[in-house]
Copies of this chain bind each other. A is one copy, B any other.
Amino acid sequence: MLSKKTKYGLKALTFLASQKDKAPIQIAEIAKEENISQKFLESILLSLKKSGFLGSKKGKGGGYYLIKEPQEVLMTDVMRVLEGPIAMVPCVSLNFYEKCDDCPDEKSCSVNKLMLKVRDANLTIFRNNTLADLIQ
């Protein structure tokens, strides 16, 4: 299942990407428009800022704004920050590889074999979709 965090994060990013100009949008407005708990969204936007997707401005007229152009924001990067590893098991993960302690040999592991295919399929999707592709 996709976590609410990822769902909300994607919606917020799309909302920001679909704005005409790049004037900061307040958390409250995004939360209202997208039906998201404001406090929860607050922490999500903060993590998106820390990972380099968003910029922010404090005080009156402040808010969040996209740093890059939507077509430059790859879904691989967004998903890794919001949802975590793309692979369903650590032993097929590119960025978060970890050996299974119960599995003596990966080469002959059926789970490894299947999940490798799943990972590749998902990577293909996420690499070929940017924030721009999610709009409209």
Contact = CB atoms under 8 A, between A and B. Distances in A.
Interface of A: 1-2, 7, 10-11, 14, 34-36, 75, 84, 88-89, 102-103, 108-111, 113-115, 117-118, 121-122, 124-125, 129, 133-136
A86 to B, nearest CB: 10
Contacts of A129: 114, 117
A3 to B, nearest CB: 9
- Report how many copies the assembly holds: 2
Nearest to A109: B11
Given A1-B88, A7-B89, A121-B125, A36 B102 contact: yes
A127 to B, nearest CB: 12
B10 A102 contact: no
A101 to B, nearest CB: 8
A134 B121 contact: no
Contacts of A125: 114, 117-118, 121
A111 B10 contact: yes
- Could you say which of A10, A84, A111, A129 has the most chain B C-beta atoms within 10 Å of its C-beta? A111
A75 B115 CA distance: 11
B115 A134 contact: no
A20 B72 CA distance: 53
